[in-house]
Amino acid sequence: MRPLIATIDLAAIRHNYAVAKRCAPGRQAFAVVKANAYGHGVREVVTALSDQADGFAVACLEEAAEVRALHGEARILLLEGCFEAAEYQLAAQLGLDLVLHNEQQLAQLLGTSLSRPLNTWLKMDSGMHRLGLDEAALRACHSRLQGAAQVAEVNLISHFACADERGHEVTEQQLEAFLDVLDLDFAQRSLANSAAILTIPAAHMDWLRPGIMLYGASPFAELGAAELGLVPAMTLTAQLIACRDVAVGESVGYGCSWRAERPSRIGTVSCGYADGYPRHAPSGTPLLVRGQRVPLVGRVSMDMLAVDLSDLPAARMGDEVQLWGAQLPVDEVARAAGTIGYELLSKVTPRVPRRYCNA
């Protein structure tokens, strides 16, 4: 068997969910499990949280149906709402909480006769300018939903653009815009992603929406997950499948992009970009062998990459290599590769087997 595995610690996810809830006593929280639970496996994550989570949030109806099959009662929030008219009836059958982010969605909902009324979440564009209604449109939509046969609760939701940069002025403006429409009658309100859960109590409202923090990564560039009390959920482990000595001036890998400046010991690792390891990770990106950081060298290949073991003479073929995880924060690898932990975690490809522990 190819020595590459993503070990998922389900107890860590339960712990991280509890951290989110502790930040905002008395509030409820949708565990954000879109994109296959950020790469961790939606079936296992929903099952692990099934007694603990107040609800789940997903990006589309297909994901919602998967969660509903695992959990008969949980509230399931469809973060982008329906994409076409035919989906409203399915959403009703699944008993979803539905985001409405534009007037077309509203008209489609009100034009459908549903098997049961749905909880709706009017999405406000409070400043991110990705999805949502401006204040005037939101007020108009709010009155159209009142008393409609298709509608159970009318709720309010918005999303921060810069909550991960502490003290950002846009966050303050977004919070004010949100508060400005609270003269309207909403049953529930939701604003906080992980960054806001961890640092902006005024944004907690009624329902939190923790995503990245559940998986034990940090939403902040300058603050690590461990400092936030989070435990990494995914450890990606490969093996040294070859070792060789290269002389000064010799190159390693495609394009000969890295050349030895000293006599070097090079290890070949059983993980590449077809597994989700970022191809653009530069030489110097850290990996862990025998508890010690070693640098990536040369270009990442489809199934393999190379590390410089010169400063770790004890390393041997067959040694485990941690790409990220329990001892090497995914955020550290992401920073070196010019990306974010979200991308690395959610892009681990299906060919990497997941092994679950602490179920």
Ligand X SMILES: Cc1ncc(COP(=O)(O)O)c(C=O)c1O
Residues marked active site are found at: 34, 254
Nearest distance in Å: CB 21, ligand X: 14
Of 33, 133, 145, 212, the residue at the interface with ligand X (CB under 6 A) is 212
Residue nearest to ligand X (CB): 211
Q: Is residue 318 exposed (0-12), middle (13-18) or buried (19+ Cβ within 10 Å)?
A: exposed
Size of the site for ligand X (CB under 6 A): 11
Residue 133: CA count within 13 A, CB half-sphere:
22
Which pair of tokens denotes residue 201? Answer: 């109590």
Q: Interface residues for ligand X in 228-247 (CB under 6 A)?
A: none
> Which of 249, 245, 240 shows the shortest CA–CA distance to 264?
245
User: Among all chains, which residue has been given the structure tokens 């991960």?
Assistant: 164
Q: Would you say 16 or 285 has its CB closer to ligand X?
A: 16
Q: Interface residues for ligand X in 124-163 (CB under 6 A)?
A: 159
219 forms part of the interface with ligand X (CB under 6 A): yes
Nearest distance in Å: CB 219, ligand X: 5
75 forms part of the interface with ligand X (CB under 6 A): no
CA angle 118, 122, 124 (to 5 degrees): 165
Of 21, 204, 209, 299, the residue at the interface with ligand X (CB under 6 A) is 209
211 forms part of the interface with ligand X (CB under 6 A): yes
d(CA 272, CA 277): 6
Q: Strand ranges (DSSP E) for 105-169?
A: 118-123, 151-157
- Helical pair 103-110 and 135-145, crossing angle rounded to 10 deg: 10
b vs e for 276-302, b when ≥16 Cβ sit within 10 Å of the residue's Cβ?
bbbeebbbebbbbbeeebbbbbbbbbe
276 forms part of the interface with ligand X (CB under 6 A): no
210 forms part of the interface with ligand X (CB under 6 A): yes
b vs e for 325-350, b when ≥16 Cβ sit within 10 Å of the residue's Cβ?
bbebbbbbbbebbeebbbebbbbbee
Q: Would you say 132 or 286 has its CB closer to ligand X?
A: 132
Nearest distance in Å: CB 221, ligand X: 13
Nearest distance in Å: CB 215, ligand X: 8
Part in contact with ligand X (CB under 6 A); list of ranges 2-10, 113-121, 203-211, 299-307: 203-211
d(CA 91, CA 75): 12
79 forms part of the interface with ligand X (CB under 6 A): yes
CB 125 within 8 A of CB 149: no
Q: Would you say 95 or 219 has its CB closer to ligand X?
A: 219
Q: Would you say 40 or 209 has its CB closer to ligand X?
A: 209
Nearest distance in Å: CB 206, ligand X: 14
d(CA 97, CA 55): 10
Part in contact with ligand X (CB under 6 A); list of ranges 2-10, 138-146, 148-156, 209-217: 209-217
193 forms part of the interface with ligand X (CB under 6 A): yes
Q: Would you say 215 or 277 has its CB closer to ligand X?
A: 215
Contact positions vs ligand X (CB under 6 A): 32, 79, 159, 193-194, 209-213, 219
